[in-house]
Structure 1
Amino acid sequence: MTNLLQSVFDCDAPVALITGSGAPRVGRAIASELARSGCNLVIHANTSVEEAQRTADLLRQRFEVETAVVIGALDDPEVPKTIVDQAHQRFGRLDVLVNSAAIWQPTKIDDVTADEMRRYFDVNTIGTFLCARAAANVMASQITGGSIVNLGDWATERPYLDHAAYFPSKGAIDVMTRSLAIELSQKNPAIRVNCIKPGPVLLADEVPDEQRRKLCASTLGGKIGTAEHVAHAVRFVCENTFVNGVCLPVDGGRTIFAPDGLQVGENTG
């Protein structure tokens, strides 16, 4: 039975490259969702190389898809083109790129250095741009084009403390998404670029119960989301060929809802 992604890309096994998908975080959930939908996968990692290989092996066995692993630090401007070329050489096509890789670390504003700011932009912003451009150059020659999905962050709308270097790098993703949607459609009108903006998902185990309760109360549904909620949204924008240039919060209403007394931030990666 043909699934929707197979129909969209007119092939038995669309190929998806997901950056930052080696470690057990949102990127891995996205890889699993796309594998479940019949995609062959290219798993990218920088430092989580062994985890990436285990992920590739697990998804290949579970969903009977082909997998490959590519490695590289996205603050190296040569790496984005290299990993896209490796994916294309391995499978002969590239239908989906998900820019999931990102860095973040709480830092007091007086401790933020110029070098730290540059690193956030190099990885989170420029790395995303270079991966998208490289992928589009492959997708341009495909009749069915391709789907590029960037991961932003809901809290660029209402930033919280101690991430003054991180948020500018993620805030740029919204504008970049809209700009790339326009630019890359000139290469091939079947290339689409969208952005998913996760809300509070995947809380660390060490988050105190009181903070966890406050985070639950910060959403309209009174609960924390899951990585699978984000992954499902990624699949949706890949499947729907009339959605383009959209930045979609997947945050339980967190962007529009500000409960009294909430003074706490979430880590959404």
Structure 2
Amino acid sequence: MSRLEGKVAIVTGASANIGGALAVGMAAEGARVVCTDLSAEVADATANRIVDEGGEAIAVVGDVTDPEHASDVVARALDRWGRIDALVNNAVWFNQKGLFDMPLEEYRRQLDIILGGAFIFTRAVARAMIDLSIPGSIINVLSTAAWQGQPGNIGYSTGKSGLVNFTRSVAMELAEHGIRVNGFTPTATQPEDPELAAQMAAALSKQSGPYAMDFFGQFPMRRLPTPSDYVSSVVFLASDDSSMITGSNITVDGGATAKYWPWRPQHD
């Protein structure tokens, strides 16, 4: 029997990269999935892929910072399948700017998507789970940037870091209802698509500018993870196998956050 057989999952930010891979991976384990995104093209593409591969999925378009969108997603899931067992809060805005070049309104918008979106969807989904007495699972997608100080990426780093304690706090509130809340930490991710992977490699290798970075050269393992490397951990957190894990975090980062700061793992 598949690990998520009979379960219904909602994935926000169901893009072709991490969110889409998680949605497809959960469907492959038997989950019926609601794919949400601000882009209709993105949401439809992921839902259609799931259906084409023999699964069940629907796409719902909207802004995660809009409570009416969250209510609509929950209503659509309940109307179609009668339950919700898992929520993956993955919606994000990649807007890589620093303290002095980040406009205040963009900073607020980025935090609203990451933190506000997680708050709105978690509350809407948790209410449905409680009403139906479902001991569900809520998974917040973090980042290695949540645990380290990355210069020039202040909104993203702040938002993802805020999700760490959001996860712990909500886990304590929902524990009495049997609802588990955990974090999942990925890192810089290499797309599965060869063309996109080449673009990513060019963007991440020995960056110039005021905050020069070399994601590949400083990575402990010989390659960056791909989205498929994340699926099994998220499936585990959504499944009954993790029934006594809450307020915690699973990291799949190839050792990135464990690396001692002066060590250069990939020498020229």
Q: Please tell me the TM-score bracket, short chain as reference.
A: 0.7 to 0.9
Q: Deviations over 1:202-225 (max 9, x none)?
A: 265333384399423433323211
> Structure 2 residue aligned with 1:200, among 188, 193, 198?
188
Shift of 1:92: 0.9
Shift of 1:5: 2.6
The DSSP-based 3-state class of the residue aligned with 2:4 is: helix
The whole-number CA distance in structure 1 between the counterparts of 2:123 and 2:253 is: 28
Pairing 1:62-211 to 2, within 5 Å after superposition: 62=53, 64-186=54-176, 188-189=177-178, 191-202=179-190, 205-206=198-199, 207-208=201-202, 210-211=205-206
RMSD: 2.1
The whole-number CA distance in structure 2 between the counterparts of 1:217 and 1:170 is: 24
The whole-number CA distance in structure 2 between the counterparts of 1:181 and 1:210 is: 38
Aligned equivalent of 2:258: 256
Pairing 1:230-245 to 2, within 5 Å after superposition: 230-239=230-239, 240-245=242-247
User: What stretches of structure 1 move > 4 A for 4+ residues in a row?
Assistant: none
The whole-number CA distance in structure 1 between the counterparts of 2:154 and 2:214 is: 22
Question: In the alignment, residue 190 of structure 2 is paired with which amino acid?
Answer: L
Aligned equivalent of 2:210: none
The whole-number CA distance in structure 2 between the counterparts of 1:152 and 1:99 is: 9
Shift of 1:255: 0.5
Shift of 1:44: 0.5
Aligned equivalent of 2:47: 56
Q: Give yes or no for contact 2:89–2:140 (8 Å, CA) kept in 1.
A: yes
Shift of 1:194: 0.6
Shift of 1:72: 0.5
Q: Deviations over 1:206-252 (max 9, x none)?
A: 33384399423433323211111222211111121111111222111
TM-score normalised per structure 1? 0.85
CA distance change for structure 1 residues 148 and 133 in 2, over 3 Å: closer, same or farther?
same
The DSSP-based 3-state class of the residue aligned with 1:17 is: strand
The DSSP-based 3-state class of the residue aligned with 2:26 is: helix
The whole-number CA distance in structure 1 between the counterparts of 2:135 and 2:97 is: 40
Shift of 1:128: 0.4
CA distance change for structure 1 residues 35 and 106 in 2, over 3 Å: closer, same or farther?
same
The whole-number CA distance in structure 1 between the counterparts of 2:173 and 2:62 is: 26
Q: Give yes or no for contact 1:217–1:223 (8 Å, CA) kept in 2.
A: no
Alignment gaps of 5+ in structure 2:
192-196, 208-212
Aligned equivalent of 1:44: 36
The whole-number CA distance in structure 2 between the counterparts of 1:229 and 1:55 is: 18
The whole-number CA distance in structure 2 between the counterparts of 1:160 and 1:199 is: 12
The DSSP-based 3-state class of the residue aligned with 2:50 is: helix
Alignment gaps of 5+ in structure 1:
7-12, 263-269
Question: In the alignment, residue 172 of structure 2 is paired with which amino acid?
Answer: I
The whole-number CA distance in structure 1 between the counterparts of 2:205 and 2:182 is: 35
Instruction: Give the stretch that moved more between structures: 232-241 or 25-34.
Output: 232-241
The whole-number CA distance in structure 1 between the counterparts of 2:206 and 2:243 is: 39
The whole-number CA distance in structure 1 between the counterparts of 2:198 and 2:91 is: 21
Aligned equivalent of 2:194: none
Instruction: Give the stretch that moved more between structures: 115-124 or 138-147.
Output: 138-147
